[in-house]
Amino acid sequence: MSDAFPIELAGLSKSFPNAGRVVDNLSLKVESGQVFGLLGPNGAGKTTLLRMLLGLVHPTAGEARLFGQPVRPGYRTLRRVGALVERPAFVPHMSGLDNLKLFWRAGGQPMRESHMDEALAMADLGKAVHRKVRTYSTGMRQRLGIAQALLGQTDLLMLDEPTVGLDPEEMREMRTTLRAVAQRGATVFLSSHILAEVEQVCSHVAVMDRGHLITTGTVNELVGAALSAYLEVDDTDKARQVLEGLQGIGPVQPEPPGLTVTLNGVARKDIVAALVHAGVGVETVTSRHRLEDAFLQMLASEER
């Protein structure tokens, strides 16, 4: 069992009567210990995919497996999974603590198998944990929802847009938590439409749009595939001339106060060398947009 993939999809598809193919022929493997980001714009089919992985939605075709076991509603392998599906949701007339307890006991597992103290520390609700959930703010609900997903310290954690409603400080904590989860050998599968989030947190990423898988790989690979760099130089006009004269380089566009260069595979250091050689002072070079570039390019090429 240990060598089975935490998540494995084979030709997974889902059609809805009124919405058509929401997920189209997805095949994907997520390996143990990865922090895997599912990136795509709203409506890409991320949530439907997540729901299929959890047995909430029945696939139209294909198969999903968790730890080698084909997904079925409510099956035993779900013991190894913690999940946040869309927004967190709680019984409004009960306290946060009671909600966590009920959630756990609803799985037929005794309380001593839960990690309540760690989960409560993550939720960081203080005394409010005894208040009715209906009095909670969005951020509090989000933290409680993530705590609920962490309650079992499961081998696989599935989180749908986990940082929605969190402030920057909470987002930072969230990232730390996810890294800790990955470090104890668990796998994290999270969906997001925010590139920066995926870039900062994930080791691997799959890009999805309108039900299709557009690309998948490590974040580093995909960032490496980004083709543009942003430069600030002391003489913009001259720099532009130099860059446009270089072999293999794509369009150069002014982006005050600097320039954006489409690299087409040319290394940044070669560009800098060329500029310096031509007597242009380079103040800043950054890989602009990085995954965002990759993301937008993939979506654009998909449209063509």
Partner 1 sequence: MIGVELRKQVWRLRTYLALGLMAAIPIIITLATRLGGPPHSERNQTQQGLFLLVTRSGINLPIAALVLMTGFLLPVVVAVFAGGAIAEEANWGTLRYLLVRPVSRSRLLANKLAVTAMLAVVATLVIVVVGLIGGVAAFGWHPVVIPVANGGLLVATLSPGEAFGRLVASTFYVAWCMAGLLCFAFMLSTITDAALGAVFGGIGFTIVSGILDAIPPLKTSRNFLPTHYFQSWNGLFQQPVATGDVWRGILIQLPYALAFLIFAWWWFHRKDILS
Amino acid occupying residue 26: L
Member of 44, 49, 57, 164 binding partner 1 (CB under 8 A): 57
Strands 228-233 and 282-286: antiparallel
Contact stretch for partner 1 (CB under 8 A) within 33-41, 106-114, 171-179, 278-286: 106-114
Query: Which single residue is written with the structure tokens 């969230």?
Result: 174
The residue length of the chain stands at: 304
CA 90 to CA 83: how far, in whole Å? 14
- DSSP code per residue over 40-95: --TTSSHHHHHHHHTTSS--SEEEEEETTEEP-TT-GGGGGEEEE-SS----TTSB
Shortest distance (Å) from residue 96 CB to partner 1: 13
Q: Please tell me whether residue 76 binds partner 1 under the rule CB under 8 A.
A: yes
Shortest distance (Å) from residue 209 CB to partner 1: 21
Member of 74, 110, 185, 248 binding partner 1 (CB under 8 A): 74
Member of 79, 115, 131, 212 binding partner 1 (CB under 8 A): 79
Contact stretch for partner 1 (CB under 8 A) within 73-81, 122-130, 200-208, 212-220: 73-81
Measured between alpha carbons, how far is residue 140 from residues 85, 93, 119, 145 in Å? 16, 16, 13, 8
Q: Please tell me whether residue 54 binds partner 1 under the rule CB under 8 A.
A: yes
CA 255 to CA 55: how far, in whole Å? 48
Q: Please tell me whether residue 230 binds partner 1 under the rule CB under 8 A.
A: no
Q: Cβ(12)–Cβ(61) under 8 Å?
A: yes
Q: Please tell me whether residue 86 binds partner 1 under the rule CB under 8 A.
A: yes
Contact pattern for partner 1 over residues 238 through 277, marking x by CB under 8 A = ----------------------------------------
At a CB cut-off of 8 Å and minimum separation 6, what does 75 contact? 55, 69
Of 34-53, binders to partner 1 (CB under 8 A) are 51
Contact pattern for partner 1 over residues 127 through 156, marking x by CB under 8 A = ---------------------x--------
Contact stretch for partner 1 (CB under 8 A) within 101-109, 112-120, 206-214, 229-237: 101-109
Contact stretch for partner 1 (CB under 8 A) within 70-78, 164-172, 193-201, 253-261: 70-78
CA 29 to CA 75: how far, in whole Å? 20
Q: Please tell me whether residue 211 binds partner 1 under the rule CB under 8 A.
A: no
Q: How far out from the chain centre does Cα 167 lie?
A: 17
Query: Which single residue is written with the structure tokens 């668990």?
Result: 186
Q: Which is nearer to partner 1, 134 or 172 (CB)?
A: 134
Q: Please tell me whether residue 81 binds partner 1 under the rule CB under 8 A.
A: yes
Q: Please tell me whether residue 63 binds partner 1 under the rule CB under 8 A.
A: no
Q: Please tell me whether residue 108 binds partner 1 under the rule CB under 8 A.
A: yes
Strands 212-218 and 228-233: unpaired
Q: Hey, which residues does 209 pair with through a beta bridge?
A: 212
Q: Cβ(63)–Cβ(10) under 8 Å?
A: yes
Size of the site for partner 1 (CB under 8 A): 35
Binding site for partner 1 (CB under 8 A): 16, 51, 54-58, 73-79, 81, 83, 85-94, 98, 102-103, 105-109, 148
